[in-house]
Amino acid sequence: MFDRSSPAAAPRIWEVGALCRAIADALEARFNPVAVRGEITGFSRASSGHCYFSIKDANGQLRCAMFRRAATLLDFSPRDGELVEVRGRLGVYEARGDLQFIVESMQRAGQGALFEQFLRLKAQLDAEGLFDTARKRPLPLQPRGIGLVTSAGAAALHDVVTALRRRVPHIPVVLVPAQVQGVAAPQSIIAALSKLYLLAQAGRAQGADSNPNPPIDVILLVRGGGSIEDLWAFNDEQLARTIVQSPVPLVSGVGHETDFTIADFCADLRAPTPTAAAELVAQPREVWLGALDLLADRLSGGVQRQLDTRHQRLDQAAARLGRPSGLVARQQLQLARLAQRMRHGVLLKMQRLAQRQQALEAQLPQALQRSVAQNAERLERTALRLELLDPRLVLQRGYALLTDTSGQAVTSIRQAQPGDALRATLADGAVDVTVSQPRLL
């Protein structure tokens, strides 16, 4: 109880919101802006684009919020285990009274202790061949039984069982519960897997009829999502070596789609979620029933078609055996028709040849007459052209052929000099002339 009789001793009575704002103001004045180095844990990105996570070291942990405007400026995708340097301002989230660091920028500062340990173990096991795809086995299309390792009280168990009941309620499931978080989790998971391995091997050795337990053809190792610390049990080296010793295909469904553990790399197949792991090993019963119906219809149809074909052949054979004379008669009739067609074809060919010969004989006189007329016309045209080329016709139009004393034609005044004797041949004779004075036209 406060002593109200002494006002000096009584503390101030704050409203909660006012006290939160006062603390925020004190932080603003004392620290901001501030830069912090730590390892990311519990990173998540909301649908709004805002990011929420914590940064921690060996001595403390601080809640952080990075709003979408700052998140869009990142040049990498933050993930749990990374060592980062963040810059921003300290404040108080008044709705919960929580200390909160508003991140305005982030850059990598290293991988973080857990993540570096994860990378070292991953490189070591990869070098030993534990991740080789050649040793990984395909999942059975229709397993006779499914082994399941997970926490008995986890939501992953409910998700897997719900998916299996919906898709394959006829397939038995053998659950071996185990711790999936904490220091004792790796050994608990190893013990559960070892028990399932013994059941699977016993089922193979004894057969389904003599084994009281359902045969196990595939194993699911599942857990829900969480931070890198929450999933750390699945990064255990001994657990990795146990997984690769599974006598049947093993599916790892640990965390969410973005979570990866050493168990995922060692398993025969990784599923993004526990529900997806269940769906990978459980084809819906309706699919198999539909496939059986289709095969039954195809088988029935094929048998019926074969029966119909055999019946038809039997009927044809019976018809031939019952009336052999009819078959002979039909063959003879066919031969007669073919002979008739052959004789008719020969006669028709001979008639056509005769008709063509007669036509040619009838056309021969006409062709000869046309040829004689064409040749006479061609001769007449040739004579006319020769007559037109007669030089006497040119002389009759008043022209003269002028030659020198040697008989060479004179066609230019340059060939005649004054006093030269020339001969001018006319249409009806020749005249001797003497050149007086050549003149150009």
- For residue 4, the model assigns a pLDDT of 52
Of 281-295, 304-318, 336-350, the poorest mean pLDDT is in: 281-295
Residues pairing with 51 in the sheet? 45, 66
Element (H, E) at 275: helix 274-280
Higher pLDDT, 370 or 43: 43
The length of the chain, given as a count of residues: 441
Tell me the mean pLDDT in the region 368-386.
82
Q: Which CATH number fits domain 117-286: 3.40.50.150, 1.10.630.10, 3.20.20.80, 3.40.50.2300?
A: 3.40.50.2300
Question: Distance between terminal CA atoms of the chain?
Answer: 157
pLDDT at 3 over 60: no
Calpha distance 67→143 (Å, rounded)? 47
Type of residue numbered 168: V
DSSP string, 333-374: HHHHHHHHHHHHHHHHHHHHHHHHHHHHHHHHHHHHHHHHHH
Element (H, E) at 388: helix 324-388
DSSP string, 227-264: -TTTTGGGG-HHHHHHHTT-SS-EEEEES-TT---HHH
- For residue 441, the model assigns a pLDDT of 67
Query: What percentage of the chain reaches a pLDDT higher than 90?
Result: 33
pLDDT band at 315 (very low <50, low <70, confident <90, very high): confident
Contact 264, 148 (CB under 8 A): no
- For residue 160, the model assigns a pLDDT of 93
* Residue pLDDT, tens place only, 211-243: 667 889 999 999 988 777 888 999 999 999 999
Tell me the mean pLDDT in the region 51-55.
94
Q: Locate all alpha helices (DSSP H) within 95-253, ordered by sequence.
A: 113-128, 155-167, 185-206, 237-243
- Inter-helix orientation angle 285-322/324-388, to 10°: 90
- For residue 216, the model assigns a pLDDT of 92
* Residue pLDDT, tens place only, 400-425: 888 888 888 888 888 888 888 888 88
Calpha distance 5→188 (Å, rounded)? 63
Of 99-103, 247-251, 376-380, 384-388, the poorest mean pLDDT is in: 384-388
pLDDT at 321 over 80: no
Q: Which part of the chain has CATH 2.40.50.140?
A: 16-110
Calpha distance 234→94 (Å, rounded)? 37
User: What is the domain class of 16-110 according to CATH?
Assistant: mainly beta
pLDDT at 6 over 60: no
pLDDT at 2 over 50: no
pLDDT at 286 over 50: yes
- For residue 323, the model assigns a pLDDT of 64
Contact 226, 255 (CB under 8 A): yes
Type of residue numbered 399: Y
Calpha distance 50→317 (Å, rounded)? 84
Tell me the mean pLDDT in the region 135-150.
92
Query: What percentage of the chain reaches a pLDDT higher than 70?
Result: 91
Q: Is the dihedral of CA 21, 24, 28, 29 positive or negative?
A: positive
pTM for the model: 0.50
Tell me the average pLDDT of the chain: 84
Higher pLDDT, 265 or 310: 265
Candidates 129, 81, 122; CA nearest to 237 is: 122
Higher pLDDT, 55 or 315: 55
Type of residue numbered 77: S
Q: Which part of the chain has CATH 3.40.50.2300?
A: 117-286
* Residue pLDDT, tens place only, 166-180: 988 889 999 999 999
Contact 125, 265 (CB under 8 A): yes
In this structure, the number of other CB atoms found within 10 A of the CB of residue 364 comes to 10
- For residue 194, the model assigns a pLDDT of 95
Tell me the mean pLDDT in the region 275-291.
80
CA dihedral 268→272→273→279, nearest 10 degrees, is -60
